[in-house]
Structures are given as structure tokens and as C-alpha cells.
Structure 1
Amino acid sequence: MTQKTWFITGASRGIGAEIAKAVLTAGNQLIATARNKTDLDQFESNPNVLTLNLDVTDEAQVQAAVAAALERFGQIDVLVNNAGFGVLGGIEETSAQEVEWVYRTNVFGLLNVTRVVLPSMRQRRSGYIINLSSIGGYRSYPGWGIYCSTKFAVEGITEALHDELAPLGIHATVVEPGYFRTNFLDSSSLQRTAMQIPDYAETVGKTRKIASERNYQQQGDPTKLAQALLEIVNADTPPLRLPLGTDTLEAIAQKNAYVEQETAKWRTLSESTNYR
């Protein structure tokens, strides 16, 4: 494996921090970013690390961070768009402002960073973009609808990027973790809607209860997730989509079976809409 330079957003905690640690252990160079640079102190003493303040929703700050990374290391080989947070609540319960907040980071922020990193990758005809999605990027659930919709967007963006960039020697992968044992279900990463409507107690309410019970009991190991990313980056034919965790694999199988069954049931009506 050759040494690579990784640029990771949201590297101060959770999955982002685990990826950053794995990258350094493997002998790579790292640009670790977070909204508050002081949260990256664990990486400061390593000469192979550049830590930067980065709010991905601030386009000027994104441009400055990428410029600093290129000045220090000369190139960015792997971009990991990891920065993001969740919102838990029913569709009707989620205010326009709460929707805007999560989209600004999870979708628009990812696009901000990707647009600024890509020119140098195109120039070298080499690079790798890893976009962190979720089990909720493939299948939505009660209470997670708005969050899942941001990850559905990440999936669509990555599928298009994969085809647009392949002829230029750049690969794109969307990673779909299930429930991993990080702080994602804490208030530091998960926003709960201010409004809670009693009529949704049996759907969204149950999801809120499950989220509280599952916090720090998740079955996924984030250190193994990080190792999986190192493996695909060095693979000859890396995947477009990488589900991680048995819960994600099960959710994908269930949705695929449901879609196949429903498509078969309504096939005659679907086919009837063509011009004859």
C-alpha cells in the first residue's frame, strides 16, 4: 500500500475520529477537520497531520481549508465526507428550520467540500471520494424520514459522481453503516424535534424509545468500519456502494424483496402507461 493523503470532515469524534486514527496507523498523511479545531488535539502532535477549522456549510472556509491542505501536502488522494448529524422526529413534527439545518450540513456541506476538492483530483486524474451515508440512505423509517432523506440525497449524488468521475480516474463510493457504537444517538450528534405530536406515539414515539435504549449498545464496531475503508481504498475494483453491518445487509434484503414483490403485483398497470 502506498502512502496516501486523506482529507476527513467531522474528524473530532465518532466514526470520523476512528477513520482518522486508522489512516495514521497505516502510515498515511491526514488533514483532520472539525468545526472547532481544539477538538482535534489528539492528532496535533503527529507530523503527518494538519488540523483545520472547517464548517462545511461555509464555502469560503471550505476553500481556505482545501487550499491549506494542498499547500501542506501537495495533493488530496482520499476525501471522506463524514461531517453530519441526525434529526429524530416525524415528518409533520419537523419544522422548516430543523429541516434546513440538517440539509445544510449533510447535503449542501458535502457538496461544498466535494466541489472544491475535485479540481485537483481531475488535474492529476486520480483520487477517491468516500461519502458517508447510512442504513437510512437505502431504507427510511418512522421518525428518521428527514434524516434519511438527506442520506438518500447522498446516495443519488454518489451514484452520479461514480459515473461522471470514472473516466477521469477518480472513484466514488457511498458507505452505508448500520448502527455503530459511537455518540451518534447523543445530543451532540442527534437533534430531536421540538414538536412531538401524540398521534405519532405508536410510530415515531417507538423510534424515540428505541434510539434511547440503543445508545452505546449498537452492535457495530467503528474501528472495524475504519479498517474496511482502508481496504476499499486499496482495492483494485472498489465498490460503488458499501453496506457495513449485518443490520444494513438485512435492511437492504428486506427492501429489495418488498420492491420486487410490489413491482410484480402492479406490473400490468405500470406497463399500461406506454404509448402503444
Structure 2
Amino acid sequence: MSTESSTPVWFITAASSGFGFEIARAALERGHHVIATARDPAKLQDLEKKGAYTIAFDVTSSYPEIEKVAHHAVAKYGRIDYLINAAGYILEGAVEEVTPGEAQQQFNVNVFGTTNTIRAFLPLIREQPLPGSGRPRATIATFGSLGSWRGGASFSFYGMTKACMSSLAESLRVELEPFEIAATVIEPGYFRTGFLKPGAKVSAEARIPAYEDEKTPSGQTRNALLAVNGNQPGDVKKGADTTVDILTASGSAEGRQLPPRVVLGSDCEVTIRNKCQSTLELLDSWGPIARSTDYAK
């Protein structure tokens, strides 16, 4: 076990591609220790060559198996400073098309995998000493998305899981504050990763003609996802570098406090602003009726 306690240590799930890979790359370039994980560790060879310690890890494993991985990871360098939960995928399908098994698997990976990973690491993280230099005992990041803020046709289950991740981070932020453990959610818009490529994007097996119709919102979403693949506005390397800046309060985020949300991409910013504005308009319109349900004072 290393005694270099001053060197930050990252544990990253789904580090074989996308944001998981790029965050690992950015952390390694800063001289940090990185424990990179993936279901298939053979896909982590590039990170291993850059200096990452790589292990096989499936977030849908049994909880005892996840606990073993947590103990192994902490034993490697003696602590975990950044726990990054990047595992996730999109299930495309109308609610009527998605089977209970497909919905369950979406939640197993995107929600329960993250919560089980965090749950397994927390007892070990709470016991580790503060790293000094004003840093928190550790920082935990979940992955939400633009979909945390806006539901829509044919991605309802994905949107539900991403809203869960944002809500989870908000709760963790409050729960863990007494232990000097920070929490945030990373909410990217559309970034040019392999997320929407065939093999990564999962579609419901059942296809109902009514929802395939291009005149329906579901049909339009399906065409839009095909069209945006490879044309997303976000640069994942820039997004990862900025994320590491924010999590470490360095570079572009030097001297700034960790926000409850790490919003990435102009499209995500616009979506959130529109959602906030429409919600305020709803409250302005319906506020008197909402307030009418209180007990009389």
C-alpha cells in the first residue's frame, strides 16, 4: 500500500469510454492516482499504459462483491478522495414498449449500481483522515444529465434514472456534510461520446408501429437520436477537464466552492434555464390554488 497520502486517489466506474475514460485521463495527467474500472478490464489498457490501476468491476454485481471491490480499492492507496460513478446507459423506448425486465435493468445499472457502490465505500471513506490543504475527506459524484431536468417521449426510463442521480447527490450533500465529505452531480448535455452509438444505446425490443410513426413525439425522438449521434455539441475532453477542475477547485474553478450541480454544455444550461422559467410561470399561475390547500391560520 502506498504512503503517498498527499496524492489524490480517484475511483472511477465505467472508465473504458466516455466521461469515465476522460476524467481518468485528466486526473492521471495531473499526477493523481486513478483506480479505473470496467466490466471488461481489457478495455482499460490505454489508461493502464498512462499509469492507472485497473480492475474489473460490474456495478450490478451482488452487494458482497461490491464491498470486496471497495475494500480492495481502498487498500491499494490507503484512501479514496474522488468516487466517480459514471456507469450508465440510455434505454430508448416508449413506456408501453418497455418490458418490466428492461426497465429493471435500466435502474439496476443507472441507479442501484451507483447507490450500492456509494454505500459500500462510505464506511471506509468516513474512517479515513482528512487530507489537509482544506480538501474535504472525499468527494462523491453521481452522473445525472440534461435528462435530469426534462422528460420526453421514448426516453422516460432514462430520464427517471437521471433525475434519481441528481436527487441522490442533493441528499448525500446534506447527509455527509457533518463528516466533511462533499457530494455533487455531474449533469452533461449532449457530448460527442459513444453513448448513442449502436451497442451502447439500448432500444426496447418490442417496437409498436404507433410509436414508430415519425409524426409522433416518440418517432421524432428516435430520428433525433440517430441524427445527433456523432454531431453532439459537447467536447467530452473539455467537459472532463472542466469537471476535474471543479471537483479539485483548481484551474478554471480555482478558489471556488464545489457546486451542488456540475452543469456541462450550453444545451444543458439552456434546458435548465427553460425548466426553471416554466416552473416559475406554473407557480405564478397555480400558486393561489396550491396555497388554498393549507389549514386555515
Aligned to 1:261: 281
- Equivalent position to 1:33, from 11, 31, 37: 37
Partner Cα separation in structure 1 for residue 204 and residue 223 of structure 2: 14
Q: 1:3, CA displacement in angstroms?
A: 2.8
Q: 1:225, CA displacement in angstroms?
A: 1.1
Which amino acid in structure 2 is aligned with residue 106 of structure 1? N
| Matches for 1:198-237 after TM superposition, within 5 Å | 198-200=209-211, 201=213, 202-235=216-249, 236-237=256-257
- Equivalent position to 2:55, from 52, 57, 79: 52
SS, match of residue 51 in structure 1: strand
Q: Deviations over 1:54-73 (max 9, x none)?
A: 01011233222222212211
SS, match of residue 146 in structure 1: helix
In the alignment, structure 1 residue 151 sits paired with structure 2 residue 165? no
SS, match of residue 265 in structure 1: helix
SS, match of residue 176 in structure 2: helix
SS, match of residue 6 in structure 1: strand
Partner Cα separation in structure 1 for residue 268 and residue 111 of structure 2: 21
Matched positions, count: 274
In the alignment, structure 1 residue 13 sits paired with structure 2 residue 17? yes
Residue ranges of structure 2 left out of the alignment (5+ in a row): 1-5, 131-136, 250-255
Maintained 8 Å contact 1:54/1:61: no
Maintained 8 Å contact 1:10/1:34: yes
Residue ranges of structure 1 left out of the alignment (5+ in a row): none
Partner Cα separation in structure 2 for residue 51 and residue 181 of structure 1: 24
Segments ≥4 residues shifted beyond 4 Å: none
Partner Cα separation in structure 2 for residue 3 and residue 206 of structure 1: 48
Maintained 8 Å contact 2:243/2:262: no
Q: 1:187, CA displacement in angstroms?
A: 2.5
In the alignment, structure 1 residue 238 sits paired with structure 2 residue 220? no
Maintained 8 Å contact 2:7/2:33: yes
Which amino acid in structure 1 is aligned with residue 276 of structure 2? N
Structural RMSD (CA): 1.3
- Equivalent position to 1:70, from 74, 81, 87: 74
TM-score by length of 2: 0.89
User: How much identity, in percent, do the aligned residues show?
Assistant: 35
Deviates more, 1:3-12 or 1:181-190: 181-190
Q: 1:194, CA displacement in angstroms?
A: 1.4
Aligned to 1:182: 193
